[in-house]
Structure 1
């Protein structure tokens, strides 16, 4: 989801959902942590009803686990979970990319170029800092990836890509805090942009599959070291 300042005019349930989703993705709650309605109500200044609605939505998206008659917990971070996430992301995002490449026009291409340039600018500013932990980099990284699929004609594929990206972002942020060497992804993004703009669907989906898979391997390795 967009990490910009949230609209205060949103309905309470939507605002609670967005704020809680953002907090979970950023790692502000530990994996497996109990999500108590009274504590969340105080933190986000909303009542329990919109919070419960938000928690149920997040449960459907895999960021929260609903406990039968016992409330909610933040979803765990596991090697099995990240491997499954990589598998599903590959299926959904490669299909969304192929569809976007088949239907995208000049405005779609311009959006990709602009998003890639914005990402490159913040990467130069950050230098050797842990980029995924920087909210500006994270927002621009998300914008770049979602720009690739923006011309996809399936709203459901686009919605799934959005939800899966946030699940992956949560894993990425955790791994960035727990690994020694930072990953440099600028070249991967530039290569991906070039083959997408060249309309080479086979090469683009192969690069995307490799890009998503590499992230999964690094996260799984960090989880193994931490176990």
Structure 2
């Protein structure tokens, strides 16, 4: 069959969508930033019509806000919204864990172990005070949590969870939060639960894990500078997020 084995080439619109989305999730485009189309065109190198399509798509995901005639802005952040996003993540993940633990086979166990191995190595480096790339750290965290639920048997559930996780991830990247040994210990405990197929205990750990992250961010006031930022403040130039994360 002609063309078999070749991936479909990404369109300029899809590429722009993915790049802007990645910058929003990473915090490089900070919460509240106004997204002027001319400035975006200079940065991402695509036509204004293509940018509008990408921004409306991101607005449907809750990552960008359409401001009527004023254009677009990166969605703001707040402690209230963070808690709502966290509850949605927990609702989906706790259900998916039960289904995945019941259905997971030996190959699934191997995927979970491998995902935790990478995450644990990076967490040990963070705990030792070494510098680490925030994007890599959160990628490994995401891969582990997704591996835990990957055998749930529902593509729709996995897609919905991925969207909720990304909104949660944006808060973590904005706050650049690493809770130290407690988070690493919870990940290790989740691995043990997966291997033992102990879904009820995993759900309890997940609740502590996610709620603990939210409480850490809110109590620490990490969202306050962004909550005060006016959506009209301008620039579309991606601000460098904290690139190095240290254990704390």
TM range (shorter): 0.7 to 0.9
Write out aligned runs for 1:121-200 (5 A).
Answer: 121-126=121-126, 127-129=128-130, 134-176=134-176, 182-184=179-181, 185-200=183-198
CA gap 1:225/1:30 in 2 versus in 1, 3 angstroms: closer
Q: Report the CA distance between 1:136 and its aligned residue.
A: 1.7
TM-score (norm 2): 0.80
Structure with higher RCO (Cα < 8 A, 6+ apart): 2
Q: Determine if the alignment matches structure 1 residue 90 to structure 2 residue 97.
A: no
Does the aligned pair in 2 maintain the 1:116–1:189 contact within 8 Å? yes
2: CA distance, partners of 1:161 / 1:224 = 25
Matches within 5 A, 1:2-41: 9-41=9-41
C-alpha displacement at 1:182, in angstroms?
Answer: 4.8
Higher deviation after alignment, 7-16 or 62-71: 7-16
Structure 1 residue runs of 5 or longer lacking an equivalent are 1-6
The SS at the match of 2:88 is helix
Give the 3-state SS of the residue equivalent to 1:69 in structure 2.
Answer: helix
Distance 1:51 1:100 in 2: 38
Secondary structure at the aligned position of 1:65 is classed as strand
**Cα deviations across residues 130-151 of structure 1 (Å, max 9, x unaligned)?**
75x5222121111111111111
1:182-217 CA deviation, whole Å, 9 max, x = no partner?
A: 533211101011112211111111111111111111
2:100–2:150 Cα contact (<8 Å) kept: yes
Q: CA deviation at 1:72?
A: 1.2
Q: In the alignment, what sits opposite 2:199? A: 201
Larger Rg: 2
Q: Is the 8 A contact 2:175 2:222 kept in 1?
A: no
Equivalenced residue count is 217
- The match for 1:4 is none
Partner of 2:78: 78
TM-score (norm. length: structure 1): 0.87
Distance in 2 (alpha carbons) for counterparts of 1:121 and 1:224: 26
Cα RMSD, aligned residues only: 2.2
